[in-house]
């Protein structure tokens, strides 16, 4: 795994964590619509990070 690819996966995980945190803040303020959208965004970032990680694992096996 190249360092730049590893950094991209780490960045995606960080984006997901940030979106989860922002969703929690919005939910705490009673803004449930924004919280829902931010949670959805966090899930998308997490899924993308997972796809990248799986791809890297397959490449490493070759």
pLDDT, residue 22, reads 92
Closest CA relative to residue 21, chosen from 3, 35, 6: 35
Q: Which helix (H) or strand (E) holds 33?
A: helix 32-61
Instruction: Give 2's pLDDT tier (boundaries 50, 70, 90).
Output: low
- Say what the pLDDT of residue 57 is: 84
pLDDT tens digit sequence for 4-60 = 878 888 898 898 899 999 999 998 999 999 999 999 999 998 999 899 888 888 888
CA-atom Rg of the chain in angstroms: 14
Residue 46 structure tokens? 């997490």
DSSP assignment string, 11-38: HHHHHHHHHHHHHHHHHHTT-HHHHHHH
Q: pLDDT at residue 1 above 70?
A: no
């Amino acid at each position: 795994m190249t360092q730049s690819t590893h950094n991209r996966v780490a960045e995606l995980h960080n984006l997901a964590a940030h979106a989860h945190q922002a969703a929690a803040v919005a939910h705490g303020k009673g803004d449930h619509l924004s919280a829902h959208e931010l949670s959805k965004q966090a899930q998308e970032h997490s899924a993308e990070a997972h796809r990248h990680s799986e791809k890297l694992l397959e490449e490493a096996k070759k």
